[in-house]
Structure 1
């Protein structure tokens, strides 16, 4: 368990601390996949741009006088198939990461909303008056907003 969550005062019970720890864990998993997805998006875009430049230089410029010659030059180079396979594989991996990122975002958001909805039950009495300290700590330390359900 995170030190900041573990060291919360006694007005925050163990079950609430576990919920806070789980939301931090899910947020980190979501952030990890979001970062991976962004890297793969940029690799894919950069790869397609570089491949387009390569095709322009190696296929279009020398054979621009005839579409048949351009097609023949494209097909005769077996490297083009490998490049296309790699680029479309990267595009597919980007889509897989997007789906995983959306799944982890949904899990994180659902747990965060559950904590917000149950905050009246989680902090009672003295804890209700001091829950803003937990909310501030979660916002400042982990960038998790427990004040509002909207992202």
Structure 2
């Protein structure tokens, strides 16, 4: 368990601490996959652009006088197969990562909203007056907003 969550005062019980730990864990997982998706997205864009420049400079410009010659030169070069597989493989991996990002964002947001909805049950009496300290710590340390349900 995170030290900041573990060291919360006595007015935050163990169940609440575990819920806060779970939301931190899901936020980290979401952030990790979001970074991966962004990196793969840019790699995909750059690979498609690089391949288009390669095709333009090596095939379209020198053999622009005949479409059939361009096509035969394109098919005769085995590197084109590797570039196409690389580009579309990156594109497919980017789509898989996007689905995972959406899934983890949904899980994170659902748990965060659950904590917000159950706040009156989690902090009762004197603890209700001090819950803002937990919310501030979560916002500052982990960038998790427990004040409002909107993202």
TM-score band w.r.t. shorter chain: over 0.9
Question: How far is the alpha carbon of 1:122 from its aligned partner?
Answer: 0.2
Q: 2:2 and 2:78 mapped to 1: Cα distance?
A: 53
State whether structure 2 residue 126 is matched by structure 1 residue 126.
yes
Provide structure 2 residue ranges, at least 5 long, that are not aligned to the other structure: none
**Structure 2 matches for 1:112-151, cutoff 5 A?**
112-151=112-151
Q: Distance in 2 between matches of 1:82 and 1:139?
A: 46
1:67 Cα deviation after fit: 1.1
Q: Could you say what secondary structure the match of 1:145 adopts?
A: coil
Question: What's the TM-score once normalised by structure 1's chain length?
Answer: 0.99
Q: In the TM superposition, what whole-angstrom CA distance separates every residue of 1:34-53 from its partner, at most 9, and x where no partner exists?
A: 00000000000000000000
Q: Secondary structure at the match of 2:48?
A: helix
2:65 matches 1:65? yes
Q: CA deviation at 1:102?
A: 0.6
Structure 1 segments, 4+ long, off by >2 Å, are none
The offset of 1:3, in angstroms, is 0.5
Q: What is the RMSD of the two structures over their aligned residues, measured on CA atoms?
A: 0.5
> What is the distance in 2 between the residues matched to 1:96 and 1:82?
21
Residue deviations 1:68-96, cap 9 Å, x none? 11111111111101110111011000000
- Structure 1 residue 145: deviation in Å? 0.3
Aligned residues: 151
C-alpha separation in 1, matches of 2:4 and 2:115: 17
- What is residue 9 of structure 1 aligned with on the other side? 9
Deviation at 1:140, TM superposition (A): 0.3
Distance in 2 separating the partners of 1:87 and 1:48: 6
Distance 1:82 1:142 in 2: 42
Gaps of 5+ in 1: none
